[in-house]
Structure 1
């Protein structure tokens, strides 16, 4: 299931309306969208408590947020296959997906890694001139021994090789979030999964130089 594009219109009643809104945004702003973010609720939250950092660091690139709360890999695959990148000529795509495959179903790491690889392929097919900034899935769980953290770590291990592609850069920002003993603090992620509002400016500052590197003048 992780690698099969899937339309989730039952469990998430606002999901398809958001997809339609994003299609309309792409149609309206297409020429100005140089930067695209794709992912789940962690990406979606740039529109919420990450909003000020988004405007400070990314809005000048005409950035488009294609983060959808609750998305797994199959949902992102469906969205990309169903128009969310159509007609764009964006130069940079920021991608992070997979932690919901871990948390919702405990998908085997190789299933999720294969699906992320397919998503990278799909993005490159639709935006062949774009550089993909592929994020390591953020750490989750209170301690380093948390089984869901370990599963995410294994997915990351299996997708890191994608950086061998000339159009992919691997970004691992784990160090921004973990304590020296490998634990997560509630001051960083109060649910041990989603970065708190005060983490989005730190993430933006770390990410922006990589975005600027691949944006054409």
Structure 2
């Protein structure tokens, strides 16, 4: 009589830097660990972010993890509490870098991150677009397969906007500020020119989860990550784009956040711009010909964005010559 194989599991430990290290044990080679941080949902779903590197989180943070094979969980959900006394002020989610997989039906977040790191190392770009789906769906490399036609809304206007520069699209669908922060800390800037122009558009996916101040803190952290790795980088900070929303006060809230971003740019010597202004009519409404969903630009919408943004990029490129 042979003994049965031990069940799969996950070993959790802390490394010397105080980061959480997760290791799959007795797991099939195709199994992946998925995690979330301080999540309130009672379930662990296959849409959680994939574990790709040690987890950086403040004391008291709750890290949940589970082993998946495809969409099926093969271990029970577990929770690890980061040790140490919690900080006097709760750390907002925008400052806790983490992965995500909310758009798993459209593209693979982990694969796109690997492709982005690779192309930055190989091409040494001097122009980086760092953002969420609004940036992701525009054009440029890396290109996600097999959804090229879905996620490349206007490669022609992308090329016009990036002409003469080695550009990489670091936009990731459904990213929040903390997801971009994770990506920049894990290789997406490694190999870029030290004086690269970095176009930042982040935060709209945090509107339902965070306060305006928390969003601003996260964007500030992203910009500091850029300047910490690329000492001579020129940052172009974009204001939030308008969005057709049934939630009362959204337009006013976006206007208030944009005032904060403009102030941040002035304090840090960034370039501030609001190309999203050309997406809305005089009533603040985004017409269907410019966006089918009231947020993401169509090809015509991207053409308007490019007409505003291209001269700003050229101005930024001249600053470091």
Please say whether Structure 1 and Structure 2 have the same fold, judged by a TM-score greater than 0.5: yes
Aligned-pair distance for 1:59?
A: 4.3
Hey, what does 2:98 align to over in structure 1? 6
Q: Out of 200, 215, 218, which is 1:95 matched to?
A: 200
**In 1, distance between residues paired with 2:183 and 2:297?**
24
CA RMSD of aligned residues (A): 2.0
Structure 2 unaligned spans of 5+: 1-92, 140-151
**In 1, distance between residues paired with 2:164 and 2:178?**
30
Which string of whole-angstrom CA distances, capped at 9 and with x for unpartnered residues, describes residues 166-213 of structure 1? 540110124301211222211222211111111112211211111111
Q: 5 Å matches for 1:81-160?
A: 81-89=185-193, 90-102=195-207, 105-141=208-244, 146-160=248-262
Q: 1:41 to 1:177 in 2, by over 3 A?
A: same
Higher relative contact order (CA 8 A, sep 6+): 1
1:18 aligns with 2:121: no
Q: 1:167 to 1:127 in 2, by over 3 A?
A: farther
Paired residue secondary structure (1:46):
coil
Q: 1:9 to 1:196 in 2, by over 3 A?
A: closer
**In 1, distance between residues paired with 2:253 and 2:305?**
23
Hey, what does 2:145 align to over in structure 1? none
Q: 5 Å matches for 1:1-217?
A: 1-9=93-101, 12=104, 14-30=108-124, 33-47=125-139, 48-89=152-193, 90-102=195-207, 105-141=208-244, 146-165=248-267, 167-215=269-317, 216-217=320-321
Q: 1:3 to 1:154 in 2, by over 3 A?
A: farther
Larger radius of gyration: 2
User: Is the strand fraction higher in 1 or 2?
Assistant: 2
Which region of structure 1 is more displaced relative to structure 2, 151-160 or 37-46? 151-160
Aligned-pair distance for 1:146?
A: 4.0
Which region of structure 1 is more displaced relative to structure 2, 14-23 or 147-156? 147-156
**In 2, distance between residues paired with 1:120 and 1:148?**
25
**In 1, distance between residues paired with 2:242 and 2:285?**
9
Q: 1:117 to 1:166 in 2, by over 3 A?
A: closer
User: Is the helix fraction higher in 1 or 2?
Assistant: 1
Q: Indicate if the aligned counterparts of 2:276 and 2:305 stay in contact, CA closer than 8 A.
A: no
TM-score, normalising length from structure 1?
A: 0.89
**In 2, distance between residues paired with 1:108 and 1:22?**
30
**In 2, distance between residues paired with 1:11 and 1:65?**
17
